[in-house]
Structure 1
Amino acid sequence: MSTVLRFLPELGHWITHNLDAGAPPDGLVDAMVGQGMAAGAARAIVAAFVDARQRGVAPPVDSVALPDDESARPFIARPRLAPGHRIAAVDREVTVHARGRDPVWAALGPVLDADECRALIDMARPRLRPSTLVDPMSGRDVVSEHRTSWGMFFRLGENDLVARLDRRLSALMNLPLENGEGLQVLHYPAGAGSEPHHDYLAPTNAANRESVARSGQRVSTLVTYLNDVPAGGQTVFPHLGLAFSPVQGHACYFEYGDGQGGVDPRCLHASSPVEQGEKWVVTKWMRERRFVSAGEALGG
């Protein structure tokens, strides 16, 4: 069984024109959602056009078909973050300084202590590489002018400190340890930042679709700041009117996945340029089910 999504041919012309002009598929999805289209329908339609371009075939004219379990549906928020002003996270109690419910977000801290922050920076520094973005058309990791940071990933439980933090952050985010991707450390030198983007995986290329098939969609993010930034470097949410200041050990948390494949585009966010000093963060992403990397899936 499949669900047929129908749309006006004029929409198809608009999508083709913008893709030809180099517009990112995520941006087209956001624009369609902004005009009242369900997020699932917008993603499916844009993905069909991108897929047609990659395969060198004619794009759809006025409809796309997709399996019933991927049919368009409203995003249904199911908050995971525990209620209350303080949250028990295995080996520490974390204060909730502020929170919102639609979508779910919170300012948390302290999540890490100063010694843990310094240790992560010291371990990450020699392994930093220019940060990449996933090219929405090819699915390949590419260095992009839209993100001017340096980054690296730890493996789950790579050492005692990383294992302790994996357990703590999983408890704080209220999802199983196995659902978490490995910790990512990013370094933003003075002047560096990132353009607005979503953390969920848009189904616009084979790599993203395969990752979602293995592990489910990303559903929540925890960004913990590893140092104080004298000026700039805020995590900014343009649709929500929020800006989180980078304070050592404190964190920005947000949810955007309903656990059934639905995502909330309002969690678009960016890192504003660092005006003074530098910025270090560690990020934890959670999936709908156990995270299986591409290498693990291939037996690597």
Structure 2
Amino acid sequence: MSQVLRFAPALGDWVRLHLVQGEAPSALVDAMQSQGMALAAAKAIVDAFCHALREGKALPVDHVVWQEASEALQVQRAFPMLARGPMLRVPGRDVRVLARVAPIDLAVLADVMDADECAALIDMARPRLRPSTLVDPLTGRDVVSAQRVSLGMFFRLEENALVARLDQRFAALMGLPVAHGEGLQVLHYPTGAGSSPHFDFLVPSNEANRASIARSGQRVRTMVTYLNDVPAGGETVFPALGCAVTPRRGHAVCFADCDAAGEPDPASLHASQAVESSHGADRSEKWVVTKWMRARPFQSAPA
């Protein structure tokens, strides 16, 4: 069964313009819902534009034919998947794909950063490290927690030449505009430190998270890049997927935090195994830089 969904041509122009500019389809659906349009109708309109742009066909003008069983109007992925193939090419760098894991669009990448970049980022981050925090799900406040025994800091988006280069590289790898990225977070795990299983998407259980989602959309993708080799321990573990990623300098694990419809995906649950001493060494450590991408351009909380 099908029905004709009519809309003002001005709405079609708005949808086309924002899609061409790289706006996430889910963000357009959210905006249309906020103006009183039903979710199913908003998705059908945006999906029709996505399909036409992808197939090089004529764009809708003032209506779409909504067929619930139509492959053409199935819900499209709300944000880009990682490019296919064994190599991801971004400006100035070829990044090898070592492994892919379904069903959350996860990939293990090599050559994301070189040794000099890793060392320089650690040197810049070290004097700014503070005890890492987690967002309290009830209050939305950042609190020091036993779930994450590490030190961390944030760079501002494109704060300096190296950070800008990495912000641009990571965004290109994840297929989203630089403006959708939060500032880089560097974490340092000393011997014995790790993190308990957690999600990177924001749970809308408190006002602070709801306000952040309203400003910038949900976190849709995470990239964790390892800045040093870890002799033992420190693996990034995905319990729901039954896999673990061994930290190697310059390598990264990149994964979707949301499913194809843009909804938080519980399969993205992950943890950092404790760093272990090895080969008679008294101490070891792990350094990582994390990049989170939002569904819409990131806006920090008002001061």
Same fold (TM over 0.5): yes
Matched, 1:278 2:285: yes
Picking from 290, 295, 298, the partner of 2:297 is: 290
Gap runs ≥5 in structure 1? 1-66
**For residue 163 of structure 1, what is the aligned residue in structure 2?**
164
- Measure, in 2, the Cα distance between the counterparts of 1:183 and 1:281: 10
CA deviation string 1:196-253 (max 9, x = no partner): 0000000111100000000000001000000000000000000101100010000011
**For residue 221 of structure 1, what is the aligned residue in structure 2?**
222
Q: Are residues 110 and 135 of structure 1, via their aligned partners in 2, closer, same or farther at CA, if it must alter by over 3 Å?
A: same
2:287 is paired with a residue of what secondary structure? Answer: strand
Mapped contact 2:224–2:254 kept (Cα < 8 A): yes
1:202 is paired with a residue of what secondary structure? Answer: coil
- Measure, in 2, the Cα distance between the counterparts of 1:266 and 1:244: 16
**For residue 247 of structure 1, what is the aligned residue in structure 2?**
248
- Measure, in 2, the Cα distance between the counterparts of 1:227 and 1:274: 12
Give 1:247's aligned amino acid. Answer: R
**For residue 209 of structure 2, what is the aligned residue in structure 1?**
208
- Measure, in 1, the Cα distance between the counterparts of 2:38 and 2:201: 21
- Measure, in 2, the Cα distance between the counterparts of 1:218 and 1:258: 11
Mapped contact 2:150–2:194 kept (Cα < 8 A): yes
- Measure, in 2, the Cα distance between the counterparts of 1:207 and 1:76: 29
Q: 1:261 Cα shift?
A: 4.3
Identity of aligned residues (%): 63
Q: 1:89 Cα shift?
A: 1.6
Mapped contact 2:77–2:261 kept (Cα < 8 A): no
- Measure, in 2, the Cα distance between the counterparts of 1:149 and 1:69: 41
- Measure, in 2, the Cα distance between the counterparts of 1:172 and 1:76: 20
CA deviation string 1:62-85 (max 9, x = no partner): xxxxx9659xx9x97565200110
Normalising by structure 2, we get a TM-score of 0.72
Q: 1:172 Cα shift?
A: 0.5
- Measure, in 2, the Cα distance between the counterparts of 1:261 and 1:241: 23
**For residue 97 of structure 2, what is the aligned residue in structure 1?**
96
Q: 1:293 Cα shift?
A: 0.4
- Measure, in 1, the Cα distance between the counterparts of 2:104 and 2:261: 16
- Measure, in 1, the Cα distance between the counterparts of 2:38 and 2:154: 35
Mapped contact 2:195–2:272 kept (Cα < 8 A): yes
1:164 is paired with a residue of what secondary structure? Answer: helix
- Measure, in 1, the Cα distance between the counterparts of 2:221 and 2:104: 11
2:222 is paired with a residue of what secondary structure? Answer: strand
Q: 1:259 Cα shift?
A: 7.2
Q: 1:258 Cα shift?
A: 4.2
Mapped contact 2:227–2:287 kept (Cα < 8 A): yes
Q: State the superposition RMSD in angstroms.
A: 2.1
Q: 1:103 Cα shift?
A: 1.3
- Measure, in 2, the Cα distance between the counterparts of 1:137 and 1:262: 20
Q: 1:101 Cα shift?
A: 3.5
Mapped contact 1:149–1:189 kept (Cα < 8 A): yes
Mapped contact 2:106–2:254 kept (Cα < 8 A): yes
Runs in 1 of length 4+ with deviation above 6 angstroms?
none
Q: 1:100 Cα shift?
A: 2.3
1:78-227 alignment runs, 5 A limit: 80-227=81-228
Gap runs ≥5 in structure 2? 1-36, 44-74, 278-283
CA deviation string 1:103-146 (max 9, x = no partner): 11001011000000000000000000000001111111100011
Matched, 1:232 2:233: yes
- Measure, in 1, the Cα distance between the counterparts of 2:200 and 2:136: 14
Q: 1:150 Cα shift?
A: 0.4
Normalising by structure 1, we get a TM-score of 0.73
Q: How many residues align?
A: 228
